[in-house]
Chain A
Amino acid sequence: MMRSVGTLTRADLAETINRKMGLSRAESLDLVESILAHMCGAMADGENVKISGFGSFVLRDKKERIGRNPKTGVEVPITPRRVITFRASQLLKDRIAKG
């Protein structure tokens, strides 16, 4: 499979916005940060984030459970916590499955 593709970062996203839209590099990078900050802020406030055509970030509250230190075997409680699960849209799933 095509494994040679590198990792996409904020800088790459800003670069594409700069190239396709002609906005300055600084403004493009600000917009990328701003998208992430708004999504992050919504989730920090307890909201799910749903981007149609892409997927949903769904918050789940996990109860306390007993875990084990894999190295020592000692049982330790895992504190209750909120986690995010990403549910890809059918469109994204199809695009990735096809490769």
Chain B
Amino acid sequence: MIRSELLSALARDNPELRAEEVEQVVDIFFDEIATRLAEGGRVELRGFGAFSTRERKARVGRNPRTGEPVDVPAKRVPYFKPGKEMRERLNAD
């Protein structure tokens, strides 16, 4: 499923909404999640899963082409942990 397929599915379920409104809802949904993570917060969607961020220490990496060492600064990266219900549905058969 890609974003446009999600939009079509929502449009089918909600014939009272205009296409632009469906799109706006989906944009708000993902943008709010991204914003909260960027602020250092967590997002918990029971049954689906939880988004959080994890710290990565600074390290010395390498340019894969030249083999030259490069400093990779410390940063935060996004992390998703699927919820219990989601995990069970994936393995339901």
Contact = CB atoms under 8 A, between A and B. Distances in A.
A82 B3 contact: no
Nearest to B27: A53
Contact of A35 (B2, B29, B76, B80): B29
Interface residues of B, number: 48
Contact of A44 (B10, B75, B90): B90
Nearest to B51: A86
Contacts of A34: 10, 13-14
A8 B42 contact: yes
A50 B33 contact: no
A51 B21 CA distance: 17
A2 B90 CA distance: 35
